[in-house]
Amino acid sequence: MRTVTLPASDETLRSFRAGEMILLSGLVATARDAAHSLMLSTGNIPFDVQNVPVFYMGPSPAPPGMVIGSSGPTTSARMEPFIPEMLRFGMKIAIGKGDMSDSTRELFQKYGAVYLAATGGAGAHASTKIKSRKVIAWDYLGPEAVSILELEDFPVFVAWDLHKGSIYTGSRSR
Amino acid sequence: MYTTTVAEISILPPMRENIKLISGEEISSAVAGLYATACIGPHCGVEERLEEILSEEDPGPGREALRIEIDNLKVAGKLGLPICQDTGTAIVFIQLGNMVCISDSSLSDAVNEGISRACAEAYLRPSQVFPPIGARKNTMNNTPAIVHIDHVFGNELKISVLAKGAGSENVSRSVMLSPLAGEQGIAEFAEACVRAGASKSCPPLIVGIGVGGNLETSAILAKKALLRELGIQSDVTELKELELRITERLNATGIGPQGFGGKTTVMETRILQTACHMASLPVTVSIECHAHRTASCVL
């Protein structure tokens, strides 16, 4: 199994192939609907979006002695209205779950960005691959606050690669 | 001031000794336990079912994701963490016996107290916001729960909790089919829902289908179908066959676990029906993720 340390180089991103499983280590930033709306309306993205992947995730509360609660991905399609601007700001990796539209997929290609899928509904497993969590903005949003996570061997699947490959071959309407 | 106690209410003698007094605290305590158990586990039969599905799945990312789904159930039990961070909207189904008297609380207050308590004590995620448009401020205790009450004969109070995540709820749909659309119409609608939404809703799925009634009844039936024990089919022969045919049809899509491709998109289909107007055929498809979280008890 391939392991990738973040931030990933353009060459590494080009080597990703749809369907491939990868173990990610390094820093990612969490943001969901409310955080995206705030980031883009204020023009303040409180992390280095060119080097830090955006993970669509809002954890359950951490019990005493744990760094984070259950922490699986949320549905990426809800972020589609924000994605064009995030790509213009330089986002290179998005991590979430589920297929998105063809037009969003074309934008990922255009900006040289990849879309990775974590396993939905498996948040307890995901929590064991997160070594730290620090809230960096909009704490009052609770689970939707923007935070920085340190991942260690966090399993993801390449959903969309840079060669027009997609892991979601069966979900399109026919 | 005059207050009436249960003992003073005039009740026919044979009924009086059958009355069961239940306190709000008993209900809150039961609901809190059920909600936490539903979210964290153990989950009757799901792990075994996923193991079966894994053994039949071809190599590929779908199969690898299934392994993680199974591992997750084990890890959640070991760490006492919710299996999914989205501990859902708490949907509470109550069968309220006619001879049950709740002594010191409204039923919905007692239920919400239980949900709030579980949210704090079991570290479940508060996901409810109000108002739904505009500020969308988190209520921070995951209330209000959604409560459905059926009045039944007897002196028992049955409580079933379904923790339903938004990923699967957002791709559930209702439709008013043409009255004679029949099995074909229902199967086509179920397939359209699954094709459009499966990859976003964490397959292998359970598909609950409510047929008949009206707009809201079909939706409640579809939800009630999700409470059915895993592996149990409809006791109506025609519906049992339709459940199997729809499951087969949905698995033929090849969408697979997590939408990554594979043989199993749907663990099972469950249908509940009721009468409807001669000019209608209301149908709701309620999609449930592999992180199927339900628990029930009788007071």
- Asked if the structure places residue B230 within a domain, the reply is yes
- Asked if the structure places residue B170 within a domain, the reply is yes
Q: Say whether A156 sits in a helix, a strand or coil.
A: strand
For residue B72, give every residue at least 6 positions away whose Cβ sits within 8 Å of its Cβ, in sequence order, or none.
Answer: A119, A121, A122, A123, A124, A125, A126, B83
pLDDT score for A170? 64
Shared-domain flag, residues B202 and B287: yes
Q: Distance between CA A167 and CA B192 in Å, rounded?
A: 20
Q: Which residue's entry shows tokens 């809230």?
A: A135
> Do the chains contact at A124 and B258, CB–CB below 8 Å?
no
When pLDDT is cut at 50, 70 and 90, the band that residue A173 belongs to is very low
Shared-domain flag, residues B142 and B231: no
- Asked if the structure places residue B23 within a domain, the reply is yes
Closest CA to B260 of B69, B121, B30: B69
Structural domain of B286:
166-292
Nearest residue on chain A to B88, alpha-carbon basis: A60
Q: What is the percent of chain B with per-residue pLDDT over 70, rounded to a whole number? A: 95
- Asked if the structure places residue B215 within a domain, the reply is yes
Looking at this protein, which amino acid is placed at residue A157?
Answer: F
> Do the chains contact at B125 and A174, CB–CB below 8 Å?
no
Residue B151 maps to which CATH number?
A: 3.30.360
Please say if the pLDDT value at position B295 is more than 60: yes
Nearest residue on chain A to B251, alpha-carbon basis: A170
Give the max Cα distance, chain A.
Answer: 49
Q: Distance between CA A20 and CA A2 in Å, rounded?
A: 9
Shared-domain flag, residues B141 and B119: yes
pLDDT score for A49? 97
pLDDT score for B274? 98
Which of these three, B112, B132, B164, is where a domain ends? B164
pLDDT score for B276? 98
Q: How far is B51 from chain A (nearest CA, A)?
A: 15
Give this prediction's pTM.
0.93
Give, as one character, the DSSP assignment of residue B92.
E
Give the E-state strand segments of chain B in sequence order.
Answer: 20-22, 89-97, 100-102, 129-130, 137-138, 146-152, 157-164, 173-177, 205-213, 266-276, 281-288, 293-298
Q: Say whether A34 sits in a helix, a strand or coil.
A: helix
- Asked if the structure places residue B198 within a domain, the reply is yes
Give, as one character, the DSSP assignment of residue B234.
P
Q: Which residues of B touch A157 (CB under 8 A)?
A: 61, 64-65, 258, 260
Closest CA to B148 of B167, B162, B127, B130: B162
Q: Which residue's entry shows tokens 């606050």?
A: A145
Mutation site for A-interface testing, chosen from B78, B194, B199 by largest number of A Cβ within 10 Å? B199
Convert the pLDDT of each residue in B216-273 to its tens digit. Answer: 999 999 999 999 999 999 999 999 999 999 999 999 999 999 999 999 999 999 999 9
Nearest residue on chain B to A97, alpha-carbon basis: B200
Mutation site for B-interface testing, chosen from A70, A71, A97, A128 by largest number of B Cβ within 10 Å? A70
H-assigned helices in A16-101: 33-42, 83-88
Shared-domain flag, residues B135 and B154: yes
Spell out a b/e string for B230-240, using b for 16 or more CB atoms within 10 Å of the CB, else e: beebbeeeebe
Q: Is B134 exposed, middle or buried (0-12, 13-18, 19+ CB in 10 A)?
A: exposed
- Catalytic residue selected from A32, A36, A97, A129: A36
Question: Under a CB-based contact definition with an 8 Å cutoff, are residues A79 and A96 in contact?
Answer: yes
Shared-domain flag, residues B22 and B139: yes
Shared-domain flag, residues B148 and B254: no
DSSP line for B138-204: E-SS-PPPEEEEEEESSS-EEEEEEEE-HHHHTT-EEEEE-TT-HHHHHHHHHHHHHHHHGGGS-SS
Q: Distance between CA B177 and CA A173 in Å, rounded?
A: 20
pLDDT score for B9? 55
Which pair of structure tokens corresponds to residue B272? 């509940």
Closest CA to A146 of A2, A20, A40: A40
Nearest residue on chain B to A174, alpha-carbon basis: B195
Give the max Cα distance, chain B.
Answer: 74
> Do the chains contact at A123 and B83, CB–CB below 8 Å?
yes
Closest Cβ opposite residue A69 in set B82, B195, B196: B82
Nearest residue on chain B to A22, alpha-carbon basis: B61
> Do the chains contact at A142 and B138, CB–CB below 8 Å?
yes
State how beta strands A54-55 and A93-96 pair.
parallel
Domain count, chain B: 2
For residue B40, give every residue at least 6 positions away whose Cβ sits within 8 Å of its Cβ, in sequence order, or none.
Answer: B76, B77, B80, B81, B82, B83, B122
pLDDT score for B11? 55
Residue B178 has phi, psi (to 5 degrees) of -60, 140
Which of these three, B113, B133, B164, is where a domain ends? B164
- Rounded to an integer, the average pLDDT of A2-16 is 97
Q: How far is A33 from chain B (nearest CA, A)?
A: 11
Q: Distance between CA B88 and CA A143 in Å, rounded?
A: 13
Shared-domain flag, residues B249 and B136: no
Which of these three, B164, B195, B225, is where a domain ends? B164
Shared-domain flag, residues B104 and B201: no
When pLDDT is cut at 50, 70 and 90, the band that residue A149 belongs to is very high
- CB pairs A-B closer than 8 Å: 169
* Mean pLDDT for chain A overall: 96
- Asked if the structure places residue B56 within a domain, the reply is no
Question: Under a CB-based contact definition with an 8 Å cutoff, are residues B168 and B203 in contact?
Answer: no
pLDDT score for B1? 46
Convert the pLDDT of each residue in B118-138 to its tens digit. Answer: 999 999 999 999 999 999 999
Looking at this protein, which amino acid is placed at residue B240?
Answer: K
Mutation site for A-interface testing, chosen from B57, B63, B81 by largest number of A Cβ within 10 Å? B81
pLDDT score for B44? 75
* Mean pLDDT for chain B overall: 94
Shared-domain flag, residues B134 and B173: no
Shared-domain flag, residues B16 and B156: yes
Which pair of structure tokens corresponds to residue A87? 């790509």
List the end-to-end C-alpha distance of chain B, in Å, as a whole number.
Answer: 32
Looking at this protein, which amino acid is placed at residue A152?
Answer: E
- Rounded to an integer, the average pLDDT of B26-39 is 98
Closest Cβ opposite residue A69 in set B81, B167, B201: B81
Shared-domain flag, residues B223 and B278: yes
- Rounded to an integer, the average pLDDT of B143-164 is 97
Q: Distance between CA B257 and CA B262 in Å, rounded?
A: 6
- Rounded to an integer, the average pLDDT of A92-117 is 98
Instruction: Tell me if residue A125 is catalytic.
Output: no
Q: Distance between CA A116 and CA A21 in Å, rounded?
A: 9
- Rounded to an integer, the average pLDDT of B5-34 is 80
- Rounded to an integer, the average pLDDT of B156-184 is 97
Shared-domain flag, residues B274 and B176: yes
Count CA atoms within 13 Å of residue B169 on its CB side. Answer: 15
Q: What CATH architecture does domain A2-149 belong to?
A: Alpha-Beta Barrel (3.20)
> Do the chains contact at B64 and A21, CB–CB below 8 Å?
yes
